[in-house]
Chains A and B, each alone.
Chain A
């Protein structure tokens, strides 16, 4: 039984533009599921659709359902979902810059064990009184994760954890995420452009393109998949060279009806 069950949802912005369509995915409890895809594919929209839109976003889930722990939560406001244990770490604007590190951590409505956070993110411990706006990229991400964790989530949605960060920092963060699953039994849906890093810790993965899920499978299978390797993992296809025809047919090859 999946903790999160997304069934063929469609999201429309400004009552005019369909951003994603027919998105179906499941996140089993205690697992890390990753959602891969290029820029503008609809990954963030999917996460926002699950974690709730505000009036100001002018976006609606116009079809399908989001089932969280057996309860239909489609269209719920974000703060209500947090109380159920569904927490998002957004891609941008992920911390309160005018608040201190400590205040950022205290912001969440539900409140949890602060000291535990510092064991996962020791760098934050020394910066409690510092204004969050002065933190480095990696520290911000840690603070964002820490702040979200203090909301006592049962399902954590993470949007682009690795964006703009150095590989070593990415590794540290991914390691922390893995520990969250292993040690706390936390369920995580991880949206990533950095497929390699994500697939290393994920159990299962989906690929989304142009607003639709085009591929899914166990992480190991995805890692081995030809097209995934070519488009997302930087691996070359097993051909000796590339003829003009190969290059010309590149786009046509991007069909995922495998």
Chain B
């Protein structure tokens, strides 16, 4: 039962991070390899908000999330928009450089000492008892709830709202969307904002739950493998992929060899690439782009 709880919590974290990859890829075919570092930025935004603006979580958390979303817009406007019309891999390299820059900037300001925003907000993280003798921390539970809420919200937004329809239209055929009056650059910026919001949310939750340090970005890399397993343009596939990878990871640690923990997502990815390269629910034709 503890294992099941652990899988769900881990999968939720992967979903929060993976949403960023899926949204950006669906919109613009770009692999946002800076997603993990955007998560880290979200965590540090929280820490900065707590230490410089207000220790109240009601102010610091929304502020950190807003900064995270804004970061996405800025990244799009300054770095990704000028790459329009250039080959996609060039844009991907830009995201790689961005990730490195973000990490260096954070280390310069905060050093690589671990930080702890939660005590600074004067909050605790007590365990939540679950049936079967299992327990997870309060923030673990919040992570699961956030991931579910974000996913539900995104699916509803994309399926039901006019803006969501236009986003999907722009993602499928940017030129036709433009010819129907849709400013797809604005929509791409929106997808980046949503992606970095999700990353910042993951960062805020993780930094409060575990710790905050510049190496947080490594989780983004594992989440990238998860997104690929699920199919890079499918939110539904992301959930399935996250659950599968999290299960493999937890079971590997328990029963096989703990040292394989960090490698598990990539082993799953390898297996998926051999069997079904476009991921669980990805679109077949996406294969060429990746």
Contact = CB atoms under 8 A, between A and B. Distances in A.
A229 interface: no
Interface of B: 84-85, 162, 165-166, 168-169, 172-184
A54 B179 CA distance: 10
Contacts of B165: 99, 103, 106-107
A179 interface: no
Contacts of A221: none
A55 B182 CA distance: 15
A245 to B, nearest CB: 48
Contacts of B180: 79, 82, 87, 107-109, 147-148, 151
Interface in A44-102: 51-52, 54-58, 77-79, 82-83, 87-88, 90, 93-99
B181 to A, nearest CB: 3
Interface in A106-120: 106-110
Q: At the interface, is chain B mostly helix, strand, loop or mixed?
A: helix
A96 B173 contact: yes
A55 B174 CA distance: 11
Contact of B182 (A52, A54, A79): A79
B107 to A, nearest CB: 35
Contact of A109 (B166, B172, B176): B166
Given A78-B179, A90-B179, A94-B176, 13 more contacts: A51-B179, A54-B85, A54-B175, A56-B174, A78-B175, A79-B179, A83-B181, A88-B179, A93-B173, A96-B168, A96-B172, A103-B168, A103-B169
B169 A96 contact: yes
Nearest to A103: B165
B85 A58 contact: yes
Given A54-B174, A55-B85, A56-B84, A107 B179 contact: no
Contacts, number: 84
Nearest to B175: A54
Given A93-B173, A96-B169, A78 B84 contact: no
Nearest to A82: B181
Contacts of B85: 54-56, 58
A109 B182 contact: yes
Contacts of A94: 176
Contacts of A82: 178-181
B174 A151 contact: no
Nearest to B177: A107
Nearest to B283: A98
B183 A106 contact: no
11 contacts: A54-B84, A54-B178, A56-B84, A78-B178, A82-B179, A93-B175, A98-B172, A99-B168, A99-B172, A108-B182, A147-B180
A204 to B, nearest CB: 24
A79 B188 CA distance: 14
Given A56-B85, A106-B165, A107-B166, A97 B179 contact: no
| Shortest 7 CB-CB contacts between residues of A and residues of B | A109-B181, A82-B181, A78-B178, A55-B85, A56-B85, A108-B180, A107-B169
